[in-house]
Structure 1
Amino acid sequence: MTTPCAPSSILFYHGLPGAPSDRTLLSTTAPTEAVDWLAALHTDAPFETAICAQFERLTQDRDPVHLIGFSLGAMAVLTLAARHPTRVSRVTLISPAGPWADGAFGDQMAGAPVFRAARRSRPRLTLLAVAQMTWLRFAPDLFLRTVFKSAHSTERALIAMPALRIHIVDGYARMFATHLHAYVRALRHYACAWTPTTLPAHIPVDLIQGTKDTWTPPDMARDLAARLGPQTHLTWIDDAGHYGALTALTDGPMPG
């Protein structure tokens, strides 16, 4: 069960595939809680209604919070900031996934086959997710090498580090085992429905992007920054890939 956050705290929303433990890959001087946001999707409520209900419980009677969204966690964070602007003080997006629904960046994303399956049908995506789960269980190293095959060399060097490789495999495995259908549901929403909107001017947005990211490419980051409004500040991490932008921030506190 996720516990309520402290006043003026930071809430971290992981990517997909991913897990709340991804929060350990960055550091911050402020109290931070990793949100198991897929747990909110074990319900029949619409996607936005479900994650907003969880967020409302977490932030009830609290000061506005700083939201951090990594990768596809950006979809959750931006949805919450748009729906609950008085409860959000700041947004930080790390290697964020921009909108897929308009199809503008499909050919640039390494995960495009998964998103195409998500657009076609829920059963097809579910079968693919089950296949990934089985592959990960019986051949985790081969699975990880395949997933990172198209990544930049600096990103592949990251997964050569035993501790990080174990962390990623364990996070993926826990997500598939615990939230398989919620994962499918989130990907379907991303691929078929989600489009971000301009956020209120009082919410500053820090967008952190690696220049060599093949999962959420730089052009997608530029497009997302333009959509979110003039209060968005885009910071480039040279020669960093997807996870590289996340781990590059472990030497200091997050913005804000």
Structure 2
Amino acid sequence: MAEPIDLWPGEPLDLGGGRRVFVRRDRAPAHGRARPRAVYVHGLGGDSTNWTDLMGILHTEWAGEALDLPGFGHSPPPPGGDYTVDGHAGAVARLIRSGEEPVHLIGNSMGGSAAVRLAAEHPDLVKSLTLIAPAMPDLRPRPVPYQMAASVIPVLGPAAYGLMQRRPPEVRVQDMFATTYHDPSSAPTRRVMEALEAARERDTHPHAETAVLRSLRGMVAEYVRRGRRSLWRQAAQVRCPVLLVYATADKFVDPRMAARAARTFRRSRLVLMPEAGHVAMMEFPERVGREVATFLRGVGSGGPGRTEAAPAAAASAGGVPRRP
């Protein structure tokens, strides 16, 4: 991996209606050519810095904007404490409408869920959709997701989560890399120190625990939602081209869901990354960057259509995943 780059600069942005978010933007390259917009949406417990390296790889061709979702990072809580997937998707939609649209929308985990809802309900805002380990409903038991879901149990759950958050920030950061990376020892020292600084900063925000717990509650609600607004039904309604990036060592999102996702999204390309964890764009930014760049160039040239087993995806994944 190349030497980690500096964090992209950011500033607060007023989205109207009492909503403010912190947005990081990349710097335009020297050639000065117009670049299509790419908007990045992080997952639960993350922030805009999760996209630093991927934005750096893609910024020569696409103008990157990564927001801290309401209540996360440097963004203040949302009005009324709305941490639902609808609330997060609404914040992203407002950000998109603040500039040129439609955009290339890129989401990870919970950010992927919000991106799916936005793309299904506001297709005019989304030119393409890239989903990295999207948190789509899956009720099959897995240890880490079930432990997280237990945090929303009234009284006991928040109390247990609060105790975990009172561990030293060094322990929490170590645990974060252990659960989100396949090989946590591969995390550059600079990124670990940035994560530690961010954890200490979060400890100064009284709303930080609330943001995680209520967002988690919103995700649980989506996992049991039925009807026309269920996320899988909305996935089938997405019209734009979709790049799906799953990882074989993901402790949060079962990689077996990749096959269902490839069948459900009508115009999808699937990449299954071996020996990668939940935040592949952080663990392997160059590999993810190559796939995303190839995909976005295809969208810009008028493709791609639906591919059941895209050659590039099969090559990078070691084959197409079996049907779950």
Query: What TM-score do the two structures reach when normalised by structure 2?
Result: 0.65
Provide, for residues 69-122 of structure 1, a one-character-per-residue CA deviation record: whole Å limited to 9, x for no partner.
Answer: 11221111112112211110111011222214xx23x32x5232111332x33x
Distance 2:131 2:202 in 1: 21
Report if the CA contact (8 A) 1:158-1:164 is conserved: no
Shift of 1:47: 2.7
1:181 corresponds to: 210
2:247 corresponds to: 210
1:126 corresponds to: 158
Shift of 1:211: 1.7
Distance 1:239 1:203 in 2: 29
2:114 corresponds to: 76
Against the structure 1 CA distance between its residues 170 and 207, is the aligned structure 2 distance closer, same or farther, given a 3 Å change threshold? farther
Report if the CA contact (8 A) 1:20-1:35 is conserved: yes
Aligned length: 244
* Aligned equivalent of 2:271, options 222, 235, 238: 235
Identity of aligned residues (%): 21
Against the structure 1 CA distance between its residues 133 and 91, is the aligned structure 2 distance closer, same or farther, given a 3 Å change threshold? same
Provide the secondary structure at the position in 2 that maps to 1:18: coil
Distance 1:199 1:41 in 2: 32
Q: Considering only aligned residues, what root-mean-square deviation do their CA atoms show, in Å?
A: 3.0
Alignment partner of 1:42 is 2:74:
no
1:219-234 alignment, distance < 5 Å: 219-227=256-264, 229-234=265-270
Q: Which has the larger helix fraction?
A: 1
Report if the CA contact (8 A) 1:41-1:51 is conserved: no
Shift of 1:165: 1.8
1:28 corresponds to: 58
Shift of 1:132: 3.1
1:242-253 alignment, distance < 5 Å: 242-250=278-286, 252=289
Against the structure 1 CA distance between its residues 74 and 176, is the aligned structure 2 distance closer, same or farther, given a 3 Å change threshold? farther
Distance 2:199 2:266 in 1: 35
Distance 2:100 2:163 in 1: 42
1:184-195 alignment, distance < 5 Å: 184-194=213-223, 195=230
Provide the secondary structure at the position in 2 that maps to 1:165: helix
2:144 corresponds to: 110
- The AA in structure 1 aligned to 2:120 is A
* Aligned equivalent of 1:143, options 168, 172, 175: 172
Structure 2's unaligned 5+ residue stretches are: 1-11, 16-24, 26-33, 224-229, 297-324
Against the structure 1 CA distance between its residues 155 and 243, is the aligned structure 2 distance closer, same or farther, given a 3 Å change threshold? farther
Distance 1:41 1:199 in 2: 32
> Which structure ranks higher in relative contact order (CA pairs < 8 Å, sequence separation ≥ 6)?
1
1:2 corresponds to: 13
Distance 1:124 1:148 in 2: 26
Provide the secondary structure at the position in 2 that maps to 1:98: coil
Shift of 1:190: 0.5
2:123 corresponds to: 85
Query: What TM-score do the two structures reach when normalised by structure 1?
Result: 0.80
